[in-house]
Amino acid sequence: MEFTAAPPLTETRPATDRAELSALVRLAAPLVGANLLQMAVSAVDVIFVARLGTVDLAAATLGVFLFNLCMYALIGLTSAASPLIAAELGRRRHAVREVRRSVRMAFWVGGVAAFPVLILLAHGETVLLLAGQDPEVARRAGSFLDIILIGLLPGVAVGVMRSAAAALGRPGWAFAVTGLALLVSIVANWALVFGNLGAPALGLEGSALASVISLTAMAIAYGAIFRLDRRLRRYRLFGRWWATEWSRFREIVRLGVPIMLTWTFEGALFGGAAILMGLIGVNEVAAHAVALNIAAIAFQVPFGIAQAATIRVGMAYGALDRAWISRAGRVALAVGIGFMGITAAAIWATPRLFVSAYVDVDAPANAIVVKLAVQYLALAAMFQLVDGAQAVAAGVLRGLQDTSVPMWIALFGYWVVGFGTSIFLGFEAGWAGVGIWTGLAVGLLAVSILLLWRWHARERLGLVPRTI
Q: SS3 sequence, the chain?
A: CCCCCCCCHHHHCCCCHHHHHHHHHHHHHHHHHHHHHHHHHHHHHHHHHHHHCHHHHHHHHHHHHHHHHHHHHHHHHHCCHHHHHHHHHHHCCCHHHHHHHHHHHHHHHHHHHHHHHHHHHHCHHHHHHHCCCCHHHHHHHHHHHHHHHHHHHHHHHHHHHHHHHHHCCCCHHHHHHHHHHHHHHHHHHHHHHHCCCCCCCCCHHHHHHHHHHHHHHHHHHHHHHHHHCHHHHCCCCCCCCCCCCHHHHHHHHHHHHHHHHHHHHHHHHHHHHHHHHHHHCHHHHHHHHHHHHHHHHHHHHHHHHHHHHHHHHHHHHHCCCHHHHHHHHHHHHHHHHHHHHHHHHHHHHCHHHHHCCCCCCCCHHHHHHHHHHHHHHHHHHHHHHHHHHHHHHHHHHHHCCCCHHHHHHHHHHHHHHHHHHHHHHHHHCCCHHHHHHHHHHHHHHHHHHHHHHHHHCCCCCCCCCCCC
Under 8 Å between Cβ of 142 and 121: no
CA distance 290 to 252: 37
pLDDT of amino acid 282: 80
Q: How many C-beta atoms surround the C-beta of residue 57 within 10 A?
A: 17
Low-confidence ranges of the chain (pLDDT < 50): 1-11, 468
Residue 106 φ then ψ, to 5°: -65, -40
What amino acid occupies position 56? D
Angstrom CA distances, 56 to 60, 131, 144, stand at: 6, 18, 9
Q: How confident is the model over 297-350, as pLDDT tens digits? A: 899 999 999 999 999 999 999 999 999 999 999 999 999 999 999 999 999 999
What amino acid occupies position 330? R
Q: How distant is the alpha carbon of residue 59 from its chain centre?
A: 23
pLDDT of amino acid 58: 83
pLDDT of amino acid 461: 95
pLDDT of amino acid 94: 59
CA distance 19 to 22: 5
**Of 126, 134, 140, 145, nearest in space to 65 by CA:** 145
Under 8 Å between Cβ of 310 and 76: no
Record the pTM.
Answer: 0.91
